[in-house]
Amino acid sequence: MKGHIPDVKIEEIKSRANIVDLVSEYVTLKKAGRNYIGLCPFHKEKTASFTVTPDKQMFYCFGCGEGGNVFAFLMKINQMAYPEAIRHLARKTGVAIPERAASREEEDRDSLREQIIHVNQVAAIHYSNNLFSPGGKEAQAYLKKREIREDVIREFRLGFAPDGWRHLKDFLEKRKIPLNIAEQAGLLVPGRESSLYDRFRNRLMFPIEDASGRVIAFGGRNIAAGEPKYMNSPESAVYVKGRNLYGLNRAKEEIRRQGYAILVEGYFDLMQLWNAGITHVVATLGTALTGEQIDLLGRYTSHVAALFDPDEAGKKALERSLGLFLAGNMHGRAVILPGGYDPDDYVKAFGKESLLDLIAHAPSMVDYYIENAMGDRGTFEKDREALRNSLSLIRHIENAVERNLFIKRVSEKLGVDQNILKSEVSRTMPAFASGAAAQKRQATSVDALELNLLHLWMTSPEKIAMIAETDILNYFMSPDLKALGEKLGTVATGAGHFDAVAFISGLPSGPVREKLLKKAMDEGFHDELMRDRLFSDTVMQIKRKWYREVHRKLKAKMVKAQEAGDEARCRELLSEKENLLREEKSQVAGINE
């Protein structure tokens, strides 16, 4: 559904966008011949099967079958609707799209997401203006006290929500922004008599952006003594807790350059590192680290240095994170700042280079865990707990070699026989779901001949006009492929040119889409003569297949009629068969059965 965005604009965006650049924002790609390959962001894998082809401006994963053009990529990776993906890419490529008028479409779910993001952007501007106005003095003083530099404040678009019930509400109302959208964004809260009031009051505001830079939520830090100290937007159509990493959008390029990411817990830890000129850093937004966050980070790097507090809570957080790191095939380092320093104090006392050095020489999380977290032992109870914890960790390690190494070290540390540990692990460990995504895929068979013909049409758009003229679709035995053929006939006859990858990208996901993408990916160049031969061969084979099937059915009917001794029916079927044979001869050349 293209809706209100003109086709010429979509073409312009497509011609300006480069799929390699776009995908590179989310996936680390390596050149491989004419293509680029990387680890698929849509399924878990250790060897790259995710392929981007600049020649065809498409991507395809040979592991999970996901694929398509630039828009399909944006839709999938950002969970965007089609118009949203177009707008996003339009902004990036500098193509101006006419503002749309309010329409019924505004009310559907897809545009709700767009609207929430829009209201969040507007709110971010409002909060930022407040911070730098006389009303924001207190908040500015607070930031000064924490010594956050102004350029960092502006980089992260920090803002201030003044004390009061309707600052934001009035601001939005003046701009004619529907308040119910602001409510769904979690910025306004219903009060008595169904009136709405500001959720965030007297708080320093942190816009939370997704990996594409869209404001999806806010975090608010109370600058007075009240509770709670931190408050986040509730979940909405665009914001799900534990799926984003604070700062990722601004850090991703530097993460790639440095080859690793620094992971901290809070907004201020992150900003203090920025203060010191260390910008390849992301924060978990105050909640415990999740597997989804690890997967997200895994799109940019497989090396992470996590900063933990040296206290008991930090130790627990490390233990929890270690399992996630192991499960996500992520190489983690545990960085513990000495003497209770926070990153900022540390940099001030010893300098940026010293901090980077500390990070570079930090022990791997596994080492740290075995040496320190497990080090606190002695009593039988403590040993038993350590054993239980490490067993639950071992289960996360997919790689057998690494798993056995870990088992060896744990057994040495605890003085337990390795074999006992191993048998305990295999007893309780679920079968490893390696390549689960690939296995989960339906093995539904798709008629290869019919699919081939559809593919041939797509690669020779000048022949698409012929679909309406021939009756070949009547010989299709798969209703789905027949419908697709009919659709193809109508889509392409009107337009001047035909974009096969775009057409396939727009199909509902399933084995047909997947197989067509793979064909588009693999296809080489045939000369015209070759192509014509392929066409006529495929058409012929489809017809033969159809006749074979009709003959088979007829034969079964005859057997049934003979068994029943129904002679009249037999004669009827026989003449039907003769007609069929005659028809077949005229339709299919060189038939021999």
Minimum CB distance to Zn ion, residue 213 (Å): 25
Q: Does 63 bind Zn ion (CB under 5 A)?
A: yes
Assess contact for 237 and 193: CB atoms under 8 A: no
Minimum CB distance to Zn ion, residue 44 (Å): 9
Q: How far is CA 526 from CA 261, 468, 540, in A?
A: 46, 24, 19
Minimum CB distance to Zn ion, residue 79 (Å): 16
Question: Among residues 43 and 169, whose Cβ is nearest to Zn ion?
Answer: 43
Binding to Zn ion (CB under 5 A) within 13-52 occurs at: 40, 42-43
Question: Among residues 41 and 343, whose Cβ is nearest to Zn ion?
Answer: 41
Rg (CA), the chain: 31
Question: Among residues 215 and 501, whose Cβ is nearest to Zn ion?
Answer: 501
- Pattern 257-286, binding to Zn ion, x per CB under 5 A? ------------------------------
Cα(58)–Cα(522) distance, integer angstroms? 11
Minimum CB distance to Zn ion, residue 109 (Å): 26
* H or E segment to which residue 68 belongs: strand 67-68
Minimum CB distance to Zn ion, residue 50 (Å): 6
Minimum CB distance to Zn ion, residue 512 (Å): 18
Q: Helix axis angle, 567-587 relative to 528-564, nearest 10°? A: 170
One of 17, 64, 324, 504 touching Zn ion (CB under 5 A): 64
Binding to Zn ion (CB under 5 A) within 523-562 occurs at: none
Question: Virtual CA dihedral for 277, 281, 283, 289, nearest 10 degrees?
Answer: -150
Question: Among residues 62 and 132, whose Cβ is nearest to Zn ion?
Answer: 62
Strand-pair category, 331-336 with 303-308? parallel
Cα(517)–Cα(528) distance, integer angstroms? 22
Question: Among residues 46 and 582, whose Cβ is nearest to Zn ion?
Answer: 46
One of 61, 89, 334, 336 touching Zn ion (CB under 5 A): 61
Minimum CB distance to Zn ion, residue 432 (Å): 18
Assess contact for 221 and 233: CB atoms under 8 A: no
Minimum CB distance to Zn ion, residue 435 (Å): 10
Binding to Zn ion (CB under 5 A) within 286-345 occurs at: none
* CA geometry: angle 112, 114, 119, nearest 5 deg: 90
Q: Report the 10 Å Cβ neighbour count for 340.
A: 10
Q: How far is CA 201 from CA 197, 220, 223, 356, in A?
A: 10, 9, 10, 38
Q: Does 72 bind Zn ion (CB under 5 A)?
A: no
Question: Among residues 179 and 438, whose Cβ is nearest to Zn ion?
Answer: 438
Question: Among residues 443 and 568, whose Cβ is nearest to Zn ion?
Answer: 443
The number of residues that bind Zn ion (CB under 5 A) is 6
List strand residue ranges (DSSP E) for 134-177, in order. 159-161
Interface with Zn ion (CB under 5 A) = 40, 42-43, 61, 63-64
